[in-house]
Amino acid sequence: MEDAELIETFDESEEQEKLSFKERSKSFGQRMKRRLPQFTIVSLIGFGINTLAVYLTEIIINKYWPSLADQYITIGNVNLFSYSIIGFIALTLGIGAATTSNFLLNKFWTFKEAKSENFFLQFLKYGLVGGSGAILKYFLTSGLNGLFSLVIVQEKHSLIPSTMIAFIITVLWNFLWNEIWTFSVSEKTPDEPIVVPPDMDFCDLTVISPTFNENENVGQLMEVITEKYANVKLIIADDGSKDGTREQVREFNARNPNVSLLDREQEEIHGLTISVIDAIKRVQTPYYVVMDCDFQHPPEKAGEIAVKLREGFHFVIGERDEIPDWPFKRRLISWGAKTIGKFSLWIHRSATCTDVMSGLFGGETEYSKMIIENHPKGFRPKGYKIMFELLKHSKKKETTVSRVGYVFNPRVRGESKISSKHIFEFLKSAFP
């Protein structure tokens, strides 16, 4: 009987190993499918940057130091390289420029889920992988060219398939080593569901919603928030609406004093950032949540953020796990802004998160007020990414940040207020 049980246990263990192997293989395949195209795009960008840097360097040096064209790096009477000093300098700068750009793009885009590690150590690892890839590509190109030259007489023609195959193999080689070693990417585990008790009292929470001409949305938002969250406070920070938004809020306030209007019509400076800052200064509860009025931020996430704030986090970010129906142009702009934002936060050694461009977030009131008071001129009042600016002024080692995932809903009513001037304000905020 014991032998039978032992055999059965062994069979179950073997089956689990097979299943685990299948799961690991499937996970690896998914990672390849998702990140390899990005890595390939970055590699092609690097090739373009390398070519441009080499070309420009040769033009500049030939113009100002033409004598270097006839000089070579030698040991005794032997030339170390087949190209002159100009070619050596141009090639070195080209490789350096391409390696740096590829590293940054891969760190903040392709492998954005990578574990936090010393920046320069990661860069060194990336350089070693790139160097090994260059050596591999050289030998592959030479070997394949020898094979193709047996059937293709002209060398310039045999080099084409040799170079293409060598490039593909090298990209795979570099991707695998960077995935496993340089960035040590760990798969995101699904978030545990955040349970908001149905009888939870939200007297310690204030919801802030900045508005400008949101007459079509503000009424429904006030109804939903006050019905869903018992004793919650709601501040509508209006920046001078002309469509009846403020009048709706005043009427609602007469029925429910927990809803108040912050009327900024007469203020000298207008903008989303300054509207939210003014509202935070007025918050009297321990915690607050900032969310849009247009229902692109699901109202039910305010409760989840409140639960996480009560656990002791300074900030809880609503991160967009899914954005349906966004056109390619909008996704491209968002990706560029995220990359710039993360790079800026890294430069400032600030607290960070995955979705630095999110407009849905919550915070510990006193901590946020302290940041605002300590940096009176550190915010772009006409900007539209207040959460990014709060993080920028938060010290990484002293600030705790958590997340709540959500689906970014399409706007049902009204029009988006984002314009090119907001993008310009963000760039000035990222690199003041």
Condensed to tens digits (0 to 9), the pLDDT of residues 256-292 reads: 999 999 999 988 888 889 999 999 999 999 999 999 9
Low-confidence stretches of the chain (pLDDT beneath 50): 1-2, 6, 9-10, 15-19
pLDDT at 151: 83
Residue 199 lies in a domain: no
pLDDT at 115: 66
Residue 196 lies in a domain: no
Q: 254-271 burial, b if ≥16 CB within 10 A, otherwise e? A: eeeebbbbbbbeeeeeeb
Does residue 58 share a domain with residue 3?
yes
pLDDT at 261: 96
- Continuous H helices in 360-419: 365-374, 386-392
Q: What is the DSSP letter of 352?
A: -
CB 316 within 8 A of CB 309: yes
Residue 320 lies in a domain: yes
Structure tokens at 48: 């373009």
Residue 50 lies in a domain: yes
Residue range(s) defining the domain that contains residue 290: 205-430
How many domains would you assign to the chain?
Answer: 3
Strand intervals (E) in 155-312: 205-211, 233-238, 259-263, 287-290
Based on DSSP, count helices (H) and strands (E) in the chain, helices before strands: 12, 9
CB 319 within 8 A of CB 391: no
Does residue 169 share a domain with residue 284?
no
* Residues composing the chain: 432
* SS3 of residue 344 by DSSP: helix
Q: What is the DSSP letter of 182?
A: I
Task: State the first-to-last Cα distance of the chain, in angstroms, to the nearest integer.
Answer: 75
State the CATH number of the domain containing residue 228.
Answer: 3.90.550.10
Does residue 95 share a domain with residue 130?
no
Does residue 231 share a domain with residue 363?
yes
* SS3 of residue 22 by DSSP: helix
* C-alpha closest to that of 287 among 176, 369, 192, 194: 369
Does residue 405 share a domain with residue 302?
yes
pLDDT at 1: 46
Does residue 163 share a domain with residue 251?
no
What span, in angstroms and rounded, lies between the C-alpha atoms of 110 and 38?
A: 6
pLDDT at 157: 74
pLDDT at 117: 72
**pLDDT per position as a tens digit, 141-187:** 888 888 888 887 776 677 888 889 988 999 999 998 888 888 876 55
163 CA to centre of own chain? 34
Residue 195 lies in a domain: no
Sequence-separated contacts (24+) of 371-374 with Cβ below 8 Å: 372/277, 372/280, 372/281
CB 278 within 8 A of CB 387: no
Instruction: Give the end of a domain, one of 64, 96, 112.
Output: 112
What span, in angstroms and rounded, lies between the C-alpha atoms of 28 and 224?
A: 43
Backbone φ and ψ of 174, nearest 5°: -65, -40
189 phi-psi bin (left φ>0, alpha ψ -120 to 50, beta other):
beta
What span, in angstroms and rounded, lies between the C-alpha atoms of 149 and 395?
A: 60
What span, in angstroms and rounded, lies between the C-alpha atoms of 194 and 180?
A: 32
pLDDT at 248: 95
pLDDT at 22: 60
Instruction: Give the end of a domain, one of 112, 133, 164.
Output: 112
335 phi-psi bin (left φ>0, alpha ψ -120 to 50, beta other):
alpha
Decide: pTM greater than 0.75: no
Instruction: Give the end of a domain, one of 152, 186, 220.
Output: 186
pLDDT at 209: 95
